[in-house]
Structure 1
Amino acid sequence: MSHLRSSGRWTRGLVALTVTAASTLAAITAATGPATAAGHPKPATAASQPKAGEACTSADLGTRHPVIKSTEVSPTITHFKGWYVTQGSTGTQTISTNVQETLSVTVGANGNIQGSFPVEVLGTVGASLGLNVQVNYTTTSSTNKSITWDFRQPGYYGLYEGTKKVTGTYGSLNCNRTQQGDGSWALKWTEGPDTGSYTTFTTLEEGAVRCEDTVPANSIMRKAQGLLDCGSPVATAKHPAGPAPSAKAEAAKAGQETAAGAEKSVKATGNPASQTRAALNCQSAVYRIDVPGKPLNWSAPLLTNDGIRLRESNFFSAHLDNWRLCNVTENNGVIEASLWNWGNGGCATIPATIANQEQAYLTTAACGEDDLQRFYIYRDVPGSSKIGLQNKYTGSMMGHDRYADGELIRQYSSGRQDGTGSYALTGV
């Protein structure tokens, strides 16, 4: 007899089933997905989730919402072991399985699940697929794992733990001005220029499968059955009870470790772009970036380790509150630019060391070819100076936590829903 269970429920006891029954139950789980199981309701998108083309207001200029562009669901085996059970060796056994692949939940270039936007991305994915996917950062086990199984028949088994890996790409909906067919302008939710990728997975499943079992195509159990390499001499030869050598499984494991090492190496570099100093082509116009209807505006720091703060302009501002747009491009009505400060000669940037953090502060640094120094600017209808600003690399919107003198300008993954992420680009 065999049994099927979700990882983390071992203490509830072993459920004795025939191998055929175990295969049937696994097939049902694979076909319906964990979202249909008791206690696992389908995730839902937020009631306020906008749609492209719908109207927005100037308060939405500093906000963003995800739009899912592609999804792919692939059964993935995280742990596996080929195991022979001979006549006389049936019964309950505890078997140590080997790591096949380690999955991590990631969203965007930074990978971290910080802030409301990554959670909204994953929640939208889960709702669209009808799957109960992970929406917070977690990872499958990276060490060998023991599985206890009740073998009631002799045979060549594959013991496994697996899940459905969900990957794809997303874009963002941003509020921006759009020209109507009659020539007038209106604010609408439109797809912004920033995109990214995501990875998540469903509930972990443990099981056992034999070559002779009939299982659904594209299921977790079928993926595990493939690792048995059925039809090979290893699978068909008589063998004493115990572990089976599987060159295919070992090769798969080695390949995964190589890929994981390469990914880790890339992530370890940290800095997304070169810090080479660049010559800027700046527009002649000079601006203040104001809080609409209020006296405070963005002021660059004098001290290296300080950030851009809200300050009131006065005689002693020393041009620290004056900004120029440099290396400007425009695509589908969205401006992309570097923000050069007249007072300290630096460019607005998110520090690379904290770029993956929600509410990381904005500061200035020596201007360079660096996406951390590039910003998308979303504009209100002509005649209004209101804008929203989004960092190109992190995708986060700029805003402040409260209106107060000396308050830092920070990044928020979804922006500030209370409108404090909308500013005014006021000519000086």
Structure 2
Amino acid sequence: MIKKVTPRRTGEFLIAMTLVTGMTAGFASSASAAAPAPYEGRACSYNEIGDQVFTVESASVSPVVTHFTSFYVTTGTLSENTYRLNVVDRVGTSINGQSNASETLFEQVTRTVGFSVRKDESTTNTEDLTVKWRFSSPGYYGLYKGTKRVTGTFSHAVCSPGWGYPRYVRRGSGTYVTFGPIEEGTVRCVDVLPARTVRRAAQVVLGCPAPTAPATGKTDEKPAAKAGAH
């Protein structure tokens, strides 16, 4: 949780969200809290009126390729060329579906997912770009630029005057979108890459089939185990 004194408006976004517990982070997954957060209903001082406590309820991380091109390097090629990457996707920061930023909220998202996310009103480059790469090995390549998109839900409570004493009051809930560091590089279908990475996502854009090595390894082990039992 993050506690910070801020105005009631952040840019054009009127802050009015709920405070609940249960931060979760995962790939292409989301979760919501079942229990109320400890700050809801907690007493606060008159000096704290207007203070806000943010809670990230869920966080879903998915790799996304934002720029891409493919090409074939023939045998004997040894040169440095300039390649044009086309925009294939865009990612920005938004709150409740509107382009917006909240440093306080996205600092909490950073802690939840374990890597730095953008906290300003930024987007990935929406223009086509060019890069220089040098290739000497023949093969079919994908040249990419991408990042990790983070989506989820959040809530917060505000210290408000109450009956006899101020307390943290629930104000609603919202959704957010942001993204992590930019990554760029090349991929080939022969590369064995971890799942849920930007490089693997680039392989999918390149049209590479899903890896089959793990399934082959399991079938090789079963006959040996049966033979040892006899």
> For residues 153 and 202 of structure 2, what CA distance do their matches in structure 1 show?
27
Residue 172 in structure 1 maps to residue 160 in structure 2: no
Instruction: Name the amino acid aligned to 1:120.
Output: T
Cα gap change, 1:177/1:94 in structure 2, threshold over 3 Å: closer, same or farther? same
Aligned match of 1:221: 199
Aligned equivalent of 1:52, options 21, 39, 63: 39
> For residues 147 and 74 of structure 1, what CA distance do their matches in structure 2 show?
25
Cα gap change, 1:146/1:51 in structure 2, threshold over 3 Å: closer, same or farther? farther
Checking the alignment, whether the CA contact within 8 Å between 1:78 and 1:101 is kept in structure 2 is: yes
Q: Deviations over 1:32-69 (max 9, x none)?
A: xxxxxxxxxxxx95689x96254312333333232111
Instruction: Give the match's secondary structure for 1:216.
Output: coil
Q: How far off its partner does 1:229 sit?
A: 1.0
Q: Deviations over 1:362-392 (max 9, x none)?
A: xxxxxxxxxxxxxxxxxxxxxxxxxxxxxxx
Instruction: Give the match's secondary structure for 2:44.
Output: coil
Checking the alignment, whether the CA contact within 8 Å between 2:78 and 2:136 is kept in structure 1 is: yes
Q: How far off its partner does 1:186 sit?
A: 5.8
Checking the alignment, whether the CA contact within 8 Å between 2:99 and 2:121 is kept in structure 1 is: no
> For residues 120 and 77 of structure 2, what CA distance do their matches in structure 1 show?
42
Checking the alignment, whether the CA contact within 8 Å between 2:50 and 2:160 is kept in structure 1 is: no
Aligned equivalent of 1:104, options 65, 76, 92: 92
Instruction: Give the match's secondary structure for 1:124.
Output: helix
Match runs of 1:137-148 below 5 Å: 137-148=121-132
Aligned length: 177
Deviates more, 1:124-133 or 1:62-71: 62-71
Match runs of 1:143-154 below 5 Å: 143-154=127-138
Instruction: Name the amino acid aligned to 2:141.
Output: Y
Residue 208 in structure 1 maps to residue 195 in structure 2: no
Aligned match of 2:69: 81
Q: How far off its partner does 1:75 sit?
A: 0.5
Cα gap change, 1:153/1:220 in structure 2, threshold over 3 Å: closer, same or farther? same
Give aligned-pair identity as a percent.
33
Checking the alignment, whether the CA contact within 8 Å between 2:100 and 2:120 is kept in structure 1 is: no
> For residues 228 and 110 of structure 1, what CA distance do their matches in structure 2 show?
32
Instruction: Name the amino acid aligned to 1:62.
Output: G
Q: Deviations over 1:335-359 (max 9, x none)?
A: xxxxxxxxxxxxxxxxxxxxxxxxx
Aligned match of 1:21: none
Residue 66 in structure 1 maps to residue 54 in structure 2: yes
> For residues 179 and 159 of structure 2, what CA distance do their matches in structure 1 show?
31
Aligned match of 1:189: 168
Q: How far off its partner does 1:108 sit?
A: 3.4
Cα gap change, 1:164/1:226 in structure 2, threshold over 3 Å: closer, same or farther? same
- Structure number with greater CO (CA < 8 Å, separation at least 6) is 2
Give the number of the structure whose alpha-carbon radius of gyration is greater.
1
Q: Deviations over 1:253-305 (max 9, x none)?
A: xxxxxxxxxxxxxxxxxxxxxxxxxxxxxxxxxxxxxxxxxxxxxxxxxxxxx
Could you list the structure 1 runs, at least 4 aligned residues long, displaced by more than 4 angstroms after superposition. 44-48, 176-179
* Structure 1 runs not aligned, ≥5 long: 1-43, 180-184, 232-428
Instruction: Name the amino acid aligned to 1:215.
Output: L
Deviates more, 1:136-145 or 1:53-62: 53-62
Match runs of 1:22-421 below 5 Å: 52-53=39-40, 54-108=42-96, 110-113=98-101, 118-176=102-160, 187-190=166-169, 192-230=170-208
TM-score (norm 1): 0.38
Instruction: Give the match's secondary structure for 2:122.
Output: coil
> For residues 49 and 152 of structure 2, what CA distance do their matches in structure 1 show?
26
RMSD: 2.6
> For residues 189 and 46 of structure 1, what CA distance do their matches in structure 2 show?
11
Higher strand share: 2
Q: Deviations over 1:216-254 (max 9, x none)?
A: 1000000000111125xxxxxxxxxxxxxxxxxxxxxxx
